[in-house]
Amino acid sequence: MIKRENENWYLAEVIRKTGNSLQIDFLRSYFLEEIVMMTLKNGKVYVGLVSELHEPHPDSSFVRLILFYSGYRNEKMDVNLEKDYNLNVYSDGNEDTDLVSVVISEPEILSMTFYNQDVYDRLNSEN
């Protein structure tokens, strides 16, 4: 885990030069505070911000997300977000942004996209 800001910029350069496209998207979420949606191989779905960067390693790469939502993909692969941490945890004015986070092993990530609430709402209003 990298905590000091100057080391984050060093790590960003390492990832930019040697990381895969997923790790580069981790950088984008981390530095630009863009929300991502990850689907894991087991069907779980997490929506949040990347909160820690780790040096890429072929055998053990991990990412930590501050969670906003969690859920699953159904048999038709539609996303169902069941837990809203914004309403249930962060709405109390709690400033601890790592209050609800999850560490995910990179090999367990099936897909990742940048999350847009408006698009999610439109897609789910059709069901």
Q: Which of 2, 105, 108, 98 is nearest to 54 (CA)?
A: 2
pLDDT tens-place string over residues 7-43: 577 777 878 887 788 888 998 898 888 999 999 999 9
Q: Which of 76-101 are b and which e, b meaning 16 or more Cβ less than 10 Å from the residue's Cβ?
A: eeebebebbbeeeebeeeeeeeeebb
pTM: 0.81
Mean pLDDT calculated for residue range 92-116: 82
What domains are defined for the chain? 5-125 (2.30.30.100)
